[in-house]
């Protein structure tokens, strides 16, 4: 419905302004109905002291506002004798009678990242009868809302509004094409996030996880699938994925590795293959103790960057352990009752390390300066004791005599068991063994509860007078004389601890990919390119999901968002173009308002849905 004005010239030189209401005739795409609403003559308006053009514009504006405020009603007849009919495979949730509205939030983010421009520009050179941009979006949105196989995604494509006339074979062809543009897609997302969401890219987190396959067969040496140390302790072949994340908690990029690749070995390869330029601008790479290898630290230093990596106190040398247990130098934080909850201190020491080189098989060693931040946390100490409790109970249950060949793979309890060979009352080399509880090992472990070290080469200026006012705070330079990365502000030990503390976000991100939210695993594909394309689709989905969480200020879990948005559907009223919203909750309300989707009515016409989805593609 719209209001239009028509100027009709008269023979006496006057002009009549005819304001009419125009609406489309139901069932027709071109035929319209026009009803005259108001008429005015120019001479009469002039005689009343009005500007004719301004007056008509004011009337149009007023009529449009009144029409928008009016309650719209429609007469609808229901045939109560109508029988139930199967739609598709009988699943009402995936039929053409139900359209999902929740994907509008992800559609807006997809277009904010300008992925549509990239895909549309490249699909012009691909001979495809289907719209590759639409199909790629459907693969991404389906992964976010209803994770399923590619076949299941294709069968349920009618959940989306428009552009669903593609075949199953087109889905796999699209995956092959999209994979060719992988690096361009990753770079486009990174550029858009920097411009739109303020990514700085100075602090970069890195971690590794793996995903298992339903297929039990391994690939050849050049393939990805191989049996390795599965995070879920599963026997199936796995593939390793290294993930880079920024200081906002948003994924930057990822790299895939063969399943039997050691975690620490992935970091150099991930840095070399990444879209992130580690050689042009100074970065701070944050990782856990699994990445604490001399080779990795050397590579970061050679590229004149910084690192923040944790280290276990239990596995440190004697001098480091003594420094950690010493009562001197700690800055203490206490609770309201005066009990210690947190302690922190630091030192700068020369560190000697060695590793096998790339050129030959000889072992090479060297010395480098390092800043070490020591932390004791009461919460961390309590958690360590809690985690150890079951291992102690299991160890005590195993005390007694057992056959010598008895084996138990439970490393946790075996740590607190001492095995001695006996026959009768005499200790011998063979026959049977008696298991005794190792109290000394328990006492040593408890000694280091709550302690950990953060190793880094990141420093700050010594005082405020050294700060470069013409540079941003995150600007840094590499000091060649001692190998430290100097930031353009004072960097106390507490800031190093805070930087390392952000690493938990990448662990939480991995959980999102493995749970029902993204459900990246198990992987059913067998062809290498299809495996890589599957991971690319899942990664784009992950970026959109984390961006939505970020826009919502991390108020809702990914699982809550998925549950609400996947249920945010509109059901078609039979024999009409009217849809009724069937589910709406407080999370959806927040998403709609934050993303400015404009969905406020319970009943929507097909044209309204088309307009809503169209608005998500128009980004300023």
Domain boundaries, the chain: 2-69, 92-183+553-615, 305-501
- Of 284, 585, 616, the closest CA to residue 454 belongs to 284
pLDDT digits (tens, 9 = 90+) for 130-139: 899 999 999 9
HSE value, Cβ hemisphere, 13 Å, CA-based, for 616: 25
CB atoms within 10 A of CB 610: 13
Are 356 and 318 in contact by the 8 Å Cβ rule? The answer is: no
Tell me the whole-structure pTM to 2 decimals: 0.79
pLDDT digits (tens, 9 = 90+) for 328-383: 999 999 999 999 999 999 999 998 766 555 545 666 667 888 999 999 999 999 99
Q: What is the pLDDT of residue 296?
A: 87
Q: Per-residue pLDDT averaged across 228-236, rounded?
A: 62
Q: Per-residue pLDDT averaged across 303-327, rounded?
A: 92
What angle is formed at CA 390 by the lines to CA 440 and CA 341, rounded to 5 degrees? 75
Q: What is the pLDDT of residue 217?
A: 60
Give CA–CA dist 140/515, Å, rounded: 16
Residue 237 has phi, psi (to 5 degrees) of: -60, 150
Under DSSP, the state recorded for 362 is S
CB atoms within 10 A of CB 467: 14
pLDDT over 70 at 220, yes or no: no
Give CA–CA dist 588/585, Å, rounded: 5
Q: Per-residue pLDDT averaged across 234-256, rounded?
A: 87
Tokens of 358: 């790339």
Under DSSP, the state recorded for 479 is E
Burial 449-466, CB ≥16 within 10 A → b, else e: bbbbbbbbbbbbeeeeee
Are 278 and 305 in contact by the 8 Å Cβ rule? The answer is: yes
Q: Could you tell me whether strands 451-456 and 32-41 are parallel, antiparallel, or unpaired per DSSP bridges? A: unpaired
Q: What is the pLDDT of residue 150?
A: 84
pLDDT over 50 at 92, yes or no: no
Give CA–CA dist 374/617, Å, rounded: 50
Give CA–CA dist 504/487, Å, rounded: 23
HSE value, Cβ hemisphere, 13 Å, CA-based, for 141: 27
C-alpha distance from residue 592 to each of 311, 368, 583 (Å): 44, 53, 13
Q: How far is C-alpha 19 from the chain's CA centre?
A: 52
Going by pLDDT thresholds of 50, 70 and 90, the confidence category of residue 93 is: very low
Q: How far is C-alpha 150 from the chain's CA centre?
A: 21
Give CA–CA dist 229/223, Å, rounded: 17
Q: What is the pLDDT of residue 230?
A: 60
CB atoms within 10 A of CB 15: 14
Under DSSP, the state recorded for 290 is G
Q: What is the pLDDT of residue 90?
A: 44
Q: What is the pLDDT of residue 236?
A: 73
Tokens of 412: 């946790």
Burial 530-555, CB ≥16 within 10 A → b, else e: bbbbbbbbbbbbbbbbbbbbebbeee
Q: Per-residue pLDDT averaged across 234-257, rounded?
A: 87
Give CA–CA dist 525/149, Å, rounded: 10
Q: What is the pLDDT of residue 595?
A: 95
Evaluated on CA atoms 251, 253, 259, 263, the torsion sign reads: negative
- Mean pLDDT, the chain, rounded, equals 84
Give CA–CA dist 220/207, Å, rounded: 25
- Of 73, 51, 54, the closest CA to residue 62 belongs to 54
Of 163-172, 344-353, 411-420, 476-485, the one with minimum mean pLDDT is: 411-420
Evaluated on CA atoms 359, 361, 366, 369, the torsion sign reads: positive
pLDDT digits (tens, 9 = 90+) for 438-491: 888 888 888 999 999 999 999 999 898 899 989 988 899 999 888 899 999 999
Burial 207-240, CB ≥16 within 10 A → b, else e: bbbbbbbeeeebbeeebbbbebebbeeeebbbbb
Helices 115-123 and 132-145: angle between axes, nearest 10 degrees: 140
Going by pLDDT thresholds of 50, 70 and 90, the confidence category of residue 158 is: confident
Residue 36 has phi, psi (to 5 degrees) of: -70, 135
Q: What is the pLDDT of residue 429?
A: 54
Going by pLDDT thresholds of 50, 70 and 90, the confidence category of residue 264 is: confident
Consecutive H or E run containing 455: strand 451-456
Q: What is the pLDDT of residue 91?
A: 46
Give CA–CA dist 610/613, Å, rounded: 5
Give CA–CA dist 284/304, Å, rounded: 10
Give CA–CA dist 95/100, Å, rounded: 10
Tokens of 445: 């472990």
Whether the link from the prior residue into 522 is cis, omega within 30° of 0, is yes
Give the contacts of 486 (CB within 8 A, at least 6 positions apart): 459, 460, 461, 476, 477, 478, 479
Of 3-17, 147-161, 183-197, 504-518, the one with minimum mean pLDDT is: 504-518
Give CA–CA dist 134/126, Å, rounded: 14
Q: Which fold does the domain 2-69 belong to in CATH?
A: Nuclear Transport Factor 2; Chain: A, (3.10.450)
Tokens of 515: 């749970």
Give CA–CA dist 520/536, Å, rounded: 10
pLDDT over 60 at 209, yes or no: yes
Q: What is the pLDDT of residue 227?
A: 64
pLDDT digits (tens, 9 = 90+) for 555-603: 998 899 999 999 999 998 877 888 899 899 999 999 999 999 989 888 8
């Amino acid at each position: 419905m719209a209001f239009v004005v028509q100027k009709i010239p008269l023979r006496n030189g006057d002009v009549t302004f005819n304001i009419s209401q125009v609406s489309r005739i139901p069932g027709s795409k071109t035929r319209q109905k026009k009803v005259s609403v108001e008429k005015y003559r120019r001479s009469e308006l002039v005689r009343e002291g009005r500007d004719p053009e301004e007056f008509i514009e004011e009337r149009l504006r007023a009529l449009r506002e009144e029409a928008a405020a009016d309650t719209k009603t429609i007469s609808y007849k229901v045939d109560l004798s109508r029988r139930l009919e199967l739609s598709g495979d009988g699943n009402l949730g995936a039929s053409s009678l139900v359209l999902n509205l929740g994907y509008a939030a992800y559609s807006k983010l997809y277009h904010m990242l300008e992925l549509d421009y990239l895909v549309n520009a490249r699909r012009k050179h691909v001979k495809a009868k289907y719209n590759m941009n639409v199909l790629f979006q459907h693969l991404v949105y389906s992964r976010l809302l209803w994770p399923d196989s590619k076949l299941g995604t294709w069968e349920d494509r009618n959940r989306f509004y428009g552009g669903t006339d593609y075949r199953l074979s087109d889905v796999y062809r699209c995956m092959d094409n999209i994979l060719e543009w992988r690096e361009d897609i990753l770079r486009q997302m990174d550029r858009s996030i920097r411009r739109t969401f303020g990514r700085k890219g100075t602090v970069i987190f890195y971690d590794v996880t793996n995903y298992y396959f339903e297929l039990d067969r391994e690939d050849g040496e050049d393939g990805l699938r191989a049996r390795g140390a599965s995070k879920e302790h599963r026997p199936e072949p796995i593939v390793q994925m290294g993930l880079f994340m920024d200081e906002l908690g948003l994924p930057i990029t990822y790299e895939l590795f063969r399943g039997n690749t050691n975690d620490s070995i992935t970091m150099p390869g991930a840095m070399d293959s990444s879209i992130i330029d580690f050689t042009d601008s100074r970065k701070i790479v944050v990782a856990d103790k699994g990445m604490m290898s001399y080779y990795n630290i050397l590579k970061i230093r050679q590229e004149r960057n910084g690192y923040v990596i944790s280290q276990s106190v239990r596995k440190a040398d004697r001098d480091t352990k003594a420094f950690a247990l010493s009562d001197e130098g700690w800055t203490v934080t206490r609770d309201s009752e005066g009990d210690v909850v947190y302690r922190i201190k630091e030192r700068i020491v020369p560190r000697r390390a060695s590793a096998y080189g790339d050129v030959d098989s000889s072992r090479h060693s060297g010395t480098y300066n390092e800043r070490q931040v020591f932390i004791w946390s009461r919460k961390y100490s309590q958690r360590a004791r809690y985690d150890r409790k079951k291992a102690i109970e299991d160890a005590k249950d195993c005390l007694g005599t057992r056959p010598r060949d008895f084996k138990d793979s439970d490393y946790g309890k075996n740590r607190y068991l001492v095995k001695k060979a006996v026959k009768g009352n005499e200790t011998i080399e063979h026959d049977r063994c008696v298991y005794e509880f190792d109290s000394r090992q328990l006492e040593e472990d408890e000694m280091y509860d709550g302690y950990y070290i953060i190793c880094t080469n990141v420093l700050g200026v010594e005082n405020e007078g050294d700060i470069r006012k013409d540079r941003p705070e995150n600007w840094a330079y590499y000091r060649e004389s001692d190998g430290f990365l100097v930031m353009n502000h004072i960097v106390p030990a507490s800031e190093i601890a805070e930087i390392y503390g952000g690493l938990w976000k990448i662990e939480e991100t991995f959980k999102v990919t493995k749970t029902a939210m993204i459900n990246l695993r198990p992987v059913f594909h067998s062809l290498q390119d299809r495996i890589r394309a599957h991971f690319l689709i899942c990664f784009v989905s992950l970026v959109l999901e984390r961006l939505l969480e970020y826009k919502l200020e991390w108020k809702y879990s990914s699982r809550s968002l998925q549950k609400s948005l996947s249920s945010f559907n509109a059901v078609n009223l039979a024999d009409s173009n009217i849809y009724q919203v069937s589910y709406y909750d407080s999370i959806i309300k927040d998403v709609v308002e934050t993303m400015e989707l404009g969905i406020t009515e319970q009943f929507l016409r097909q044209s309204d849905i088309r307009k809503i989805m169209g608005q998500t593609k128009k980004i300023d």
